[in-house]
Amino acid sequence: MLFVEGRFLFFFLVTFLVHWGLPRNRPRKLWLLACSYVFYGAWDWRFLFLILASTVIDFAVGLGLTRPSRPSGRRLWLAASLVANLSILGFFKYAGFFVSEGAELLSAIGLPCSIPTLSIILPVGISFFTFQTMSYTIDVYRGQLAPRRGLGGFLDFALFVGFFPQLVAGPIVRAVTFLPQLDGKRLWSSVPVRAALTLFLFGFIKKACIGDQVAVVVDAVFSNVGAAGVLDHWLAVSLYTIQIYCDFSGYSDMAIATAALLGYTLPDNFAHPYLARSITDFWRRWHISLSSWFRDYLYISLGGNRRGRTRTFANLALVFLLCGLWHGAAWNFVLWGLFHGAFLILERLGGKSPGSLSLASRLANLPAPLSSAYTLLVVMVGWILFRAGSLAEAARYLLVMVGAHPQGASTPQAGPPLDAASASWWLLVLAFVICHLALSDGRLKRRLDTIAPFPFGLVLGAATALALFFAATGHTPFIYFQF
């Protein structure tokens, strides 16, 4: 059930009307929990048992953490939560990868073995809700959050884990920010209706009118690397840079807007990442809920930058290795994570002796267009690793881009759909850059806030009609659903 589908709009309309029609808080929460399970069960009802098991485990661990008086007992409870959650995640997401890679390794050293291929269906959103439940137990362990108790507490915790707007692709919500919202009754008068409707429309346009449209070209080039020309490969990775941002931030926009219309606040997940002036800055702006999760629960726990440069670099490398693995069980994701980690380390080099500057400081002193161009180029190379089906395919793609691959270098044009419309696609890239810059200062949002209700309704209705007209006829699943 995609946010851009008609059946979701019907589902949300029913959810919305009943939610605000119920007079008390607890029936509202029960209704939202039931709707959330219906939403998740629409993907595959069998995985409802999985999310329920994850909920029960961490609710029980939260209670268990309050019982032992000795630190060793509390550490044992925390370890139980981490082992249980990571084992579930590891089985569904990584078991097939490690089994197949292990079989290949044994064959390579002369020990051929016959291991059946594991065909394990990956539950939608498992990486997201697993990180959410782990954040709860870690926060309770650290004393930053009191555990929920009793039947009412279990209901609150279950809704925190399963809340449908952000369930399958984030943002990753922290219990310390969401659970307190469940304590008081949501008031319709506090709902930012105009901002929520505008944000949902922006998200719809990003996904249906831009992301799904450019996916046609991206898929055509990446599915047959080397068949098109050099410029077409540059165009395809430029369009993928747009696609993944519009796809993922579009989902986040619609999730935040949907939650807001129900009276709840979700964290921002993007802050114009393609305007970043360094890779360090990029990760403060891209998938903020994930990068901050790794920072708060792993990087700082490892010592952060408090134990010398060598330890800091090792911590960064490990965090981004795991960040790559979080995205998928494949070597290209591992390399993508290490690639970004290497640039974060590179940007910290220098600045040790008096008068010397780190690369990050030098980038900050450059004109914004130059430092942003450097960042965007690095990010685009990383997206090739992210999008390619294998490391070999990614290497071939990069060779074509620099004219070093004989097949791509000798092919001046691509076949359909690029040869007749290449100029139009480049104009779309330019238009995206201009719009990205125009929206970055919040001026448009402030102007929309000043429009009177009736003219605003007309503008919103006209914009919605145009969006539906230009939307792709077929919608692809959100890219981050696979994670």
Q: Tell me if 296 is assigned to some domain.
A: no
> Considering 327, 340, 405, 475, which one is annotated as catalytic?
327
In a shared domain, residues 127 and 243: no
Backbone angles phi, psi at 187, to 5 degrees: -110, 130
In a shared domain, residues 134 and 262: no
Radius of gyration of the chain measured on its C-alpha atoms: 24
In a shared domain, residues 73 and 47: yes
Residue 82 CA to residue 345 CA, distance in Å, equals 28
Domain of residue 27: give its range. 21-185
Residue at which a domain ends, from 185, 202, 220:
185
Residue 256 CA to residue 88 CA, distance in Å, equals 28
pTM over 0.85: yes
Residue that has been written with the tokens 């044994």 in this structure: 106
Q: Tell me if 37 is assigned to some domain.
A: yes
Q: Are 422 and 231 a contacting pair, CB within 8 Å?
A: yes
Give pairs for 314-323: CB < 8 Å, separation 24+. Answer: 316/341, 316/344, 316/345, 316/348, 317/341, 317/342, 317/345, 319/294, 319/295, 320/344, 322/294, 322/298, 323/290, 323/291, 323/294
Q: Which letter does DSSP use for residue 123 in this model?
A: P
Residue at which a domain ends, from 168, 185, 202:
185
In a shared domain, residues 108 and 223: no
In a shared domain, residues 123 and 254: no
Q: Tell me if 320 is assigned to some domain.
A: no
Mean pLDDT of 195-222: 87
pLDDT exceeds 80 at position 289: yes
The answer to whether the Cα torsion of 102, 107, 112, 114 is positive or negative is positive
Q: Are 97 and 105 a contacting pair, CB within 8 Å?
A: no
Mean pLDDT of the chain: 85
Residue at which a domain ends, from 163, 185, 207:
185
In a shared domain, residues 273 and 398: yes
pLDDT of residue 470: 65
19-23, 83-87, 101-105, 313-317: least confidently modelled range: 101-105
Q: Tell me if 305 is assigned to some domain.
A: no
pLDDT of residue 355: 53
Residue that has been written with the tokens 């930053």 in this structure: 144
The residue among 104 and 194 whose pLDDT is bigger is 194
In a shared domain, residues 374 and 242: yes
In a shared domain, residues 257 and 380: yes
In a shared domain, residues 147 and 30: yes
For residue range 73-115, list pLDDT tens digits in order: 889 999 999 999 999 998 888 887 777 777 777 777 776 666 6
In a shared domain, residues 148 and 247: no
Q: Tell me if 308 is assigned to some domain.
A: no
Both structure tokens of 203: 């998200």
Single-letter amino acid code for the residue at 456: F
In a shared domain, residues 132 and 28: yes
Q: Tell me if 107 is assigned to some domain.
A: yes
Tally of domains within the chain: 2
In a shared domain, residues 69 and 143: yes
Q: Tell me if 134 is assigned to some domain.
A: yes
User: Among this protein's residues, is 327 annotated catalytic?
Assistant: yes
